[in-house]
Each structure stands twice: as C-alpha cells, then as structure tokens.
C-alpha cells in the first residue's frame, strides 16, 4: 500500500494537548459560572507556529473539539470556547503552519463530550449498575443519535478547514450498558447483555463491541474521506495490550486508521515502553506509518517538565524503531507556552533531523517475532481476573491460579530479548500478519491459549519448512470459547502431551546440560505459580530442565520460614524440552519464564529465554554486544546496509513505599567508552551517523568486530554491505 509522503517523512511531531473548560457554560467541571479566569484568552497562532518551527516540528495536532465538547474554530453547530472571542484558532493555526510547511492534524474527542451530555443526557453511556457513565468527562453512547451529531461535526470541519489529518480519540471507554447498546446486543444474541466479566456471554460482548466500534469508525472514516480524501484519518490506539480487550480497540480497527498512533508514556508503563509500543504499532499497521506519543511531563499533564535526558531517550527509542515521535505538550490555561519545553524539543528534533537519511525508508531486521493474539487477550480477560496484591513486601507465589498471565508474559519476553540485544518484532493472529511468518527465523508463542485451525496449519508448515517456534505454558490448550482441551493442539510439534496443571504453587526448575542452558546456573530456579505437567510423545525430545517440587505446599498452617519453601528432590519430569521437526526446530516450556522474568527480573530467566531463541533460530543475531543491559540495540536494513542504533538510558534508583513506586527517571546522559560490537563479516566499512567518521574493522576467521570509542545516549552506525 502506498501512503502520502508526509505520513512517513514528517516524523518530528507535537501533540498540542488542551482540554479547556469553558466556565461560562453549565456543567463544565463545576467551575465558576461567571468568569473565564483567563482560559483560552491569549492564544497567538503566528507566534506559536514560529516557536514550533524553531523547535524543528513538522507536524502538529491542534484541537478542533476537546473532551469538554468545546470547539476551537468558528463552528455553526457546536459550542465554540467563549475565551476565544472572535478568534478562529484552528483556522489561523492551519494558515500559519502551512506557511512553514508544518502539517496540521485536527483533534476530535469521540466518547467524552461534556456539552453533548448536558444537552442530551439520554444519549449518555451507562455503567453496569445503571448509572450514567461519568469518568472525568461524561461518556456518550456510540449507538445513540450522538453518532449523527459526530458526523455533522466531521462534515463541518473537513468542509471548511484544510486539515492534513484528523486524530480520533476516546474510543476505549467501553463497555456501555445504555438502552441503545442493550437493544442491539439483545437483538443479535437473544439474551441480555452480561454485566460483569464473570457472567456467561462476556466473550460475546467483547466480540460484539469489536463489530460495533468498527461500524462507528467506518462511518466517521467515510464522512472525512468523502469530503477530503487526502486527509489522514488517525485512530488513537489507546493502551496497546495494557487495555482490557473489553475496553474497545483491537488490531481489527487499524484498517480504518491511515497511520498507527498510540500513547507511549513511560510514567504509565516504564522506560521499556516506547520501544515496545513502536514495534507493536508497526505490527498493527503491517509495516505502514505510525507514531508514538511521548510526554514532556514527569507525571502526565501535571505542568512539570521532564528531564531533557529522558525526553531524548524516549524519542530516540521511537524513531530508531521506525516511528514518528509526537511529544505531548500542554499550554498554560490562557494559551501561553512553557519556553523550556521547546528548547528541549529543538535539542531532540535537531538530532533526529540530522539522522533522517538513516531513518527514513529503513526496515527492521527480522530475526525473532513475538506472537500476539486478540483471541488470547480476550480469553485472558475472562480467565485471569485482576486481583489486588496480597502483600507490599513479598511477591505472591500464587498470583494467578489459572493458565493465563498474558501481559506479564509478553512484556517479560520483550524485556529479556531487548536486554539480550536479540532483534524482536511482533506478528499477530490476523491472516495478513501470520502470512509473514516465513520472514522470521523464530516465532515465540508466549502462553497463546488458543489458535485457530488456520494458525495451527500455518505454524506446522512454517516449522516443517525450516522455521522455528518456542511455545510456553498453555499455548494451544484452549478453544476460542475458553474451554480447556484434553491436549495441546500443537502437541505433535511440542513433542509432549499435556497431563495436568501442577499442584504446587511454588515449584523449581532444575537445569541440565543442553544448548538451551549454556551459561545458566545449575542451582534450582524458583518458579512463581504452578508448572504444567507434560510427558514426551516422541523419542527425539531433549530435556533442558526438569521439575523440582518444593518441600511443602505453603498454607495458613503449614509453612517454611518467612517466604517460600526450599526445593525437594528432582522429579525428573520434563519442563523445558527441545527437538527438531521437519527442517525446523521447536522448544516447549511447561512454565512461564517470561512472566517470571517480568515479575522477578532474575537473570537466569533472561539467559534461558535468550538461549532458547538463539538455539531455535540456528544462528546468532548479526550484531551483538556483551552486557550493555541499559542499551537498546536496534538493527534496521537500508538497501544492502545495516543501520544500527544504540539507545542508552541510565535511570535513577526508585523509591518504594506500600504499593507505590516512583517513576523511572533519567536525568543524566552517561558516556560509555570502548563499546565493542560483533558485526557481520561481510561488512566492508562502518560509518558513524551523522558525522561520517569511519570506524576500523577488526577481522578474524568468519568474524568481525568494531570498537566505538565513546557512546552517549544515541549512537547510529551504518554498516556498509552487511545485508543482502
């Protein structure tokens, strides 16, 4: 698919975030009904755009309608913010931005609209208990006549304003139990909507909502495109895998978004998240253009200014992984800027601009892929209800009594592989995505509970033809309705049959000599949650780890010391097995090494995961380094060359009290010295970008290395002739 050039070239973006109450209107935050108190009274569009241009910004999100339902242009059908007076803020911003070659993307709030709720309370969404939904801003039902009003807004906006894009927000405040939704659901299924995740029919509710939301977005998309086909319609894919599947959006809806977009704020999901979010959205868009929002705030929207070192790390992680970065700023209430924010943005975007020749058009090097699944997310929601931590001091060994623990598994795997400098992308369960399996050396199925017949056949063919899979936990042990099967659907690939879920909630792994355990400790490795018990079903199964039960099962009356019981004798029963299948390789772990690594951060799990991947792949990654755990190494292809990015951040130590933990913060840019990389032996020259400085290559038999004298927070190298 081809896209307008600016979708992928304008990668230095600003999200000008401003939900501004109009306190002359009833119902807007219960503010003073008699005075604006300066809100929206001092916007100077020409000056704003000059500052954006100075900061090297080349695309900006400007508000058309905010979550209060206030408009920022001369609307004839909505409520324009009174503080603007006669000013057509959006129109003037477009005029001045286009003079500076800055693209303008108009912001539109969908489900949250205070003004619409005030005028039409019967259009509001409802909570499960029947109350009107009022999560900060009142929520509107997408099946009510509000939908027609949205279409009228979009028609007015795209008819009268030369916007370059429309950013469609707040599409994840679901489910809603309003009368319109209840009638539609009952009309399809012939039964009332379930009100909680534990009720029968919740899977139907999730999947029905997927279709309802698709229909809503398709209607909005068609309105915009019928008037201005060139306008980019952009859906905020809120939450990525962190949002519950019942909240709304999935990869299914990406066909209605001209570019991918999601919020990648590190105060929400940690410093690892911008890179993960970038790879997740690249998969969502099947390689098409995407952006990741990062923030200027220490804690989202609190008018602090994040340290420059941290803003650099987050932005560089996004662009190194192929995305546009959109830094979220918020003006003060009257419309003025905080100047230091734009000093920081200029510093960051100048650095990105200098490296754009090595960024634009680059493709990820495909080595390993994490397999994600909407079906598995849906089952995880019904099988793995969230429960509060039992203790603020000690990790609960039975944090999940069911077969699924999906989000920690995915994030633990990503953490382990990036720290091990193993290239990892994402594929998913859409046919057009899993059709790309053959582009990867190894596919990692981390507790993917259910697989369709088409997925199973594709995986079998992929391995038989020389690919490799790693599967863990209850992968393929469930049908699509959440019923546990008698055996794994992929038992023939795994080389083991399912017996039962183990009875001990705190067992141990005992590693044995094998290619999967090289360099790993031989002492017993604790495993938080029960293991799966399996038995071999073919002869050619190697055993890398066996199960050691604990001395006892801890209870209220029977316990050992203060925390967990020690290991008892080795049962000899397999936990981690490996084998060949056709021309390919298979690893199966009757364990959750990824979620254990996410929860514990314990090195043996990272080593096990890395060893499983490299053995399954049959070859090491082309660019390697020892140590450097705080450095993300991103390897991309550009023509016949490899572009290698080293993005480094050293956070301060966190403070914990009770269940609270201070956010990860990076304040210093630390210089690393004499960083040694192993590179492909075919490389003919290595240049630093953007300086062009040449680095000498040291060659040995079938190997080549380079030493980088100094590495700061972003090092970019061009390895000439390394690919192809």
> What span, in angstroms and rounded, lies between the C-alpha atoms of 1 and 287?
10
Looking at the predicted structure, is the pLDDT value of residue 375 above 60? yes
Give residue-wise pLDDT tens across range 591-604.
999 999 999 999 99
- Are residue 382 and residue 502 in the same domain, yes or no? yes
Q: Which of 20, 48, 19 is nearest to 36 (CA)?
A: 20
Q: Domain with 299 in it: what CATH number? A: 3.20.20.80
- What phi and psi, each to the nearest 5 degrees, are found at residue 513? -60, 125
> What span, in angstroms and rounded, lies between the C-alpha atoms of 92 and 98?
10
Q: Domain with 485 in it: what CATH number? A: 3.40.50.880
Choosing from 335, 361, 387, the residue where a domain stops is 361
Which residues sit opposite 426 in a β-bridge? Answer: 370
Is residue 448 assigned to a domain? yes
Is residue 67 assigned to a domain? yes
pLDDT at 390: 57
- Are residue 376 and residue 357 in the same domain, yes or no? no
Give residue-wise pLDDT tens across range 624-657.
999 999 999 999 999 999 999 999 999 999 898 8
> What span, in angstroms and rounded, lies between the C-alpha atoms of 229 and 3?
12
pLDDT at 687: 98
pLDDT at 640: 94
Q: Are strands 363-364 and 631-638 parallel, antiparallel or unpaired?
A: antiparallel
> What span, in angstroms and rounded, lies between the C-alpha atoms of 138 and 116?
9
- Are residue 304 and residue 416 in the same domain, yes or no? no
- Are residue 387 and residue 507 in the same domain, yes or no? yes
pLDDT at 560: 86
| Mean pLDDT within 655-661 | 81
Quick one: which H or E segment has residue 414?
Answer: helix 406-419
Give residue-wise pLDDT tens across range 228-241.
999 999 999 987 89
- Are residue 148 and residue 166 in the same domain, yes or no? yes
- Are residue 423 and residue 355 in the same domain, yes or no? no
pLDDT at 391: 57
Q: Which of 532, 529, 531 is nearest to 487 (CA)?
A: 532
> What span, in angstroms and rounded, lies between the C-alpha atoms of 343 and 356?
20
Write down the H helix ranges in 228-307: 266-269, 273-284
Q: Quick one: DSSP state of residue 529?
A: S
Is residue 17 assigned to a domain? yes
Give residue-wise pLDDT tens across range 280-304.
999 999 999 999 999 999 999 999 9
Choosing from 591, 617, 643, the residue where a domain stops is 617
- What phi and psi, each to the nearest 5 degrees, are found at residue 611? -65, -40
Query: Whole-number mean pLDDT of the chain?
Result: 94
Is residue 246 assigned to a domain? yes
- Are residue 426 and residue 496 in the same domain, yes or no? yes
Give residue-wise pLDDT tens across range 87-143.
999 999 999 999 999 999 999 999 999 999 999 999 999 999 998 877 678 999 999
| Mean pLDDT within 471-496 | 97
- Are residue 269 and residue 194 in the same domain, yes or no? yes
| Mean pLDDT within 437-446 | 97
| Mean pLDDT within 151-176 | 97
Cα 559–chain centre separation: 40
Is residue 559 assigned to a domain? yes
How many other C-beta atoms are found inside a 10 Å radius of the C-beta of residue 278? 27
Q: Quick one: DSSP state of residue 148?
A: H
> What span, in angstroms and rounded, lies between the C-alpha atoms of 162 and 158?
7
Quick one: which H or E segment has residue 499?
Answer: strand 496-501
Q: Domain with 649 in it: what CATH number? A: 2.60.40.1180
| Mean pLDDT within 186-208 | 95
- Are residue 27 and residue 175 in the same domain, yes or no? yes
pLDDT at 22: 93
Range of the domain at 143: 5-361
- Are residue 345 and residue 372 in the same domain, yes or no? no
Say which residue the tokens 């950013």 belong to. Answer: 167
pLDDT at 660: 80
Is residue 97 assigned to a domain? yes
| Mean pLDDT within 350-361 | 98
Looking at the predicted structure, is the pLDDT value of residue 531 above 70? yes
Task: Report the percent of the chain where pLDDT is more than 70.
Answer: 98
pLDDT at 387: 62
Q: Half-sphere exposure (CA, 13 Å, Cβ side) for 552? A: 11
Is residue 213 assigned to a domain? yes
- Are residue 607 and residue 661 in the same domain, yes or no? no
Using pLDDT thresholds of 50, 70 and 90, give the confidence band for residue 397.
Answer: confident
474: tokens are: 């209850």
**What is the total count of domains within the chain?**
3
- Are residue 646 and residue 591 in the same domain, yes or no? no
pTM of the model: 0.96
pLDDT at 679: 97
Is residue 623 assigned to a domain? no
pLDDT at 386: 62
How many other C-beta atoms are found inside a 10 Å radius of the C-beta of residue 243? 17
pLDDT at 123: 97
pLDDT at 47: 98
Q: Which of 228, 224, 235 is nearest to 152 (CA)?
A: 224
Choosing from 334, 361, 388, the residue where a domain stops is 361
């Amino acid at each position: 698919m081809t896209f307008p050039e600016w979708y992928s070239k304008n990668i230095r973006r600003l999200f000008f975030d401003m939900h501004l109450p109009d306190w002359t209107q009833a119902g807007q935050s219960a503010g003073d009904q008699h005075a604006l108190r300066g809100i929206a009274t001092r916007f100077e569009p020409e000056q704003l755009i000059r500052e954006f241009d100075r900061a090297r910004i080349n695309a900006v999100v400007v508000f058309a309608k905010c979550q209060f339902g206030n408009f920022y242009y001369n609307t004839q059908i909505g409520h324009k913010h009174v503080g603007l007076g006669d000013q057509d803020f959006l129109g003037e911003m477009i005029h001045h931005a286009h003079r500076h070659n800055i693209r303008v993307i108009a912001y539109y709030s969908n489900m949250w609209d205070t003004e619409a709720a005030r005028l039409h309370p019967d259009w509001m969404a409802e909570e499960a208990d029947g109350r009107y939904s009022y999560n900060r801003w009142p929520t509107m039902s997408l099946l009510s006549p509000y939908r027609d009003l949205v279409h009228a807004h979009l028609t007015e906006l795209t008819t009268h304003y030369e916007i370059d894009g429309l950013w469609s927000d707040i599409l994840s405040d679901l489910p809603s139990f309003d009368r319109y939704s209840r009638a539609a659901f009952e009309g399809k299924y012939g039964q009332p909507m379930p009100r909680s995740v534990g009720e029968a029919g919740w899977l139907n509710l999730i999947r029905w909502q997927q279709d309802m939301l698709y229909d809503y977005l398709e209607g909005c998309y068609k309105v915009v495109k019928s008037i201005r086909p060139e306008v980019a319609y952009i859906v905020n894919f809120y939450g990525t895998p962190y949002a519950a599947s019942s909240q709304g959006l999935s990869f299914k809806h990406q066909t209605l978004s001209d570019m991918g977009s999601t919020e990648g704020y590190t105060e929400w999901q940690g410093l690892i998240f911008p890179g993960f979010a970038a790879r997740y959205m690249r998969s969502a868009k099947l390689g098409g253009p995407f952006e990741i929002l990062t923030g200027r705030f220490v804690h989202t929207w609190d008018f602090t200014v994040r340290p420059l070192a941290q803003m650099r790390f987050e932005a560089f992680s996004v662009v190194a992984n192929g995305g546009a970065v959109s830094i979220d700023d918020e003006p003060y209430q009257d419309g003025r800027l905080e100047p230091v924010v734009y000093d920081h943005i200029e510093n960051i975007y100048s650095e990105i601009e200098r490296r754009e020749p090595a960024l634009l058009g680059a493709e990820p090097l495909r080595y390993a892929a994490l397999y994600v699944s909407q079906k598995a997310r849906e089952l995880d929601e019904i099988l793995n209800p969230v429960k509060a931590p039992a203790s603020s001091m000690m990790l609960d060994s039975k944090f999940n009594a069911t077969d699924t623990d999906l989000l920690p598994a995915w994030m633990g795997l990503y953490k382990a592989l990036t720290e091990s400098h193993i290239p990892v992308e994402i594929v998913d369960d859409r046919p057009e995505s899993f059709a790309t399996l053959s582009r990867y050396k190894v596919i990692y199925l981390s507790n993917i509970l259910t697989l369709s017949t088409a997925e199973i056949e594709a995986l079998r063919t992929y391995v038989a033809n020389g690919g490799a899979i790693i599967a863990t936990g209850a992968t393929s042990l469930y049908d699509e309705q959440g019923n546990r099967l008698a055996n794994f659907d992929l038992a023939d690939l795994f080389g083991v049959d399912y017996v039962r879920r183990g009875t001990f909630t705190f067992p141990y792994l005992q590693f044995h000599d094998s290619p999967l355990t090289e360099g790993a400790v031989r002492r017993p490795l604790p495993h938080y949650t029960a293991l799966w018990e399996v038995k071999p079903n073919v002869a050619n199964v190697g055993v890398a780890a066996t199960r050691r039960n604990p001395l006892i099962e801890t209870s209220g009356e029977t316990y050992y010391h203060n925390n967990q019981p020690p290991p008892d004798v080795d049962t000899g029963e397999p936990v981690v097995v490996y084998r060949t299948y056709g021309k390919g390789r298979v690893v199966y772990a009757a364990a959750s090494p990824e979620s254990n690594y996410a929860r514990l951060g314990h090195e043996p799990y990272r080593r096990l995961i890395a060893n499983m991947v490299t053995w399954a792949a049959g070859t090491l990654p082309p660019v390697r380094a020892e140590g450097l755990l705080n450095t993300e190494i991103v390897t991309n292809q550009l023509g016949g060359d490899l572009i290698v990015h080293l993005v480094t951040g050293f956070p301060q130590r966190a403070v914990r009290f009770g269940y609270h933990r201070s956010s990860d913060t990076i304040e210093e840019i630390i210089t690393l010295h004499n960083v040694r990389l192993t590179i492909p032996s075919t490389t003919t020259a290595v240049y630093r970008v953007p300086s062009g400085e040449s680095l000498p290559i040291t060659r040995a038999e079938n190997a080549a290395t380079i030493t980088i004298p100094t590495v700061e927070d972003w090092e970019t190298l061009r390895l000439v002739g390394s690919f192809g």
